[in-house]
Structure 1
Amino acid sequence: MANNPVEYIQHHLQNLVLGVHPDKGLMFAHSAEDASEMGFWAIHVDTMLWSILTGVLFIKIFRKVAMNMTSGVPGTLQNIVEMSVEFVEGMVRDTFHGRSPLIAPLSLTIFVWVLLMNSLKWLPVDLLPSLAHMIGIPYFKIVPTADPNATFGLSIGVFFLIIYYSIKIKGPGGFAKELSFQPFNHWSLIPFNLFLEILGLLTKPLTLALRLFGNMYAGEVVFILIALLPFWAQWTLYVPWAIFHILVIPLQAFIFMVLSIVYLSSAHEDHNH
Structure 2
Amino acid sequence: MTDLVTGQLVLAAEGEIKPGHHPTFELFGMSFNSDTLIATLVAGIIVCGLGLYMARRATHGRPSKLQVIFEMLAEWVRGQIYDGMGLRAPKGVVELAITLFAFILTCNWLAALPTEHYVPPPTADVNMVYPMALLVIVWVIVVAINRQGFGGYVKHFAHPYAFLAPIEIITQFFARPLSLALRLWGNIFAGALMVQVIGLMPAYVLWLPNAAWKLFDMFIGALQALIFALLTIMYFSEAIGEEHEAAH
Are 2:231 and 1:259 equivalent residues in the alignment? Answer: yes
Deviations 1:178-197 (A, max 9, x none): 11x2231xxxxx4x322111
Deviations 1:75-115 (A, max 9, x none): 23323322332332233233344422210001110110000
Partner of 1:167 in structure 2? 145
Q: Is the 8 A contact 1:62 1:81 kept in 2?
A: no
Deviations 1:226-253 (A, max 9, x none): 0000011212211211221232111100
- The verdict on how the C-alpha distance between 1:99 and 1:91 changes in structure 2, with shifts beyond 3 A counting, is closer
Are 2:227 and 1:240 equivalent residues in the alignment? Answer: no
Partner of 2:78 in structure 1? 89
- The verdict on how the C-alpha distance between 1:222 and 1:197 changes in structure 2, with shifts beyond 3 A counting, is same
CA distance in 2, matches of 1:19, 1:46: 13
Q: Is the 8 A contact 2:108 2:122 kept in 1?
A: yes
Aligned residue for 1:114, secondary structure, equals helix
Partner of 2:112 in structure 1? 122
Gaps of 5+ in 1: 21-25, 27-37, 130-139, 185-189
Q: Is the 8 A contact 1:162 1:263 kept in 2?
A: yes
After superposition, residues 19-38 of structure 1 pair within 5 angstroms as 19=26
Deviating beyond 3 angstroms after TM superposition, the runs of 4 or more aligned structure 1 residues are 2-7, 95-98
Partner of 1:14 in structure 2? 21
The alignment yields a C-alpha RMSD, in angstroms, of 2.3
Are 2:235 and 1:228 equivalent residues in the alignment? Answer: no
Tell me which amino acid in the other structure corresponds to 1:72: G
CA distance in 1, matches of 2:133, 2:26: 24
Aligned residue for 1:220, secondary structure, equals helix
Tell me which amino acid in the other structure corresponds to 2:153: F
- The verdict on how the C-alpha distance between 1:128 and 1:144 changes in structure 2, with shifts beyond 3 A counting, is closer
Aligned residue for 1:18, secondary structure, equals strand
- The verdict on how the C-alpha distance between 1:183 and 1:7 changes in structure 2, with shifts beyond 3 A counting, is farther
In the TM superposition, residue 141 of structure 1 has moved relative to its aligned partner by: 5.1
* TM-score where L is the length of structure 2: 0.85
Aligned residue pairs total 234
In the TM superposition, residue 268 of structure 1 has moved relative to its aligned partner by: 2.1
Residue 113 of structure 1, aligned match among 88, 98, 103: 103
User: Which moves more between the two structures, 75-84 or 218-227?
Assistant: 75-84
Gaps of 5+ in 2: 1-9
After superposition, residues 58-97 of structure 1 pair within 5 angstroms as 58-97=47-86
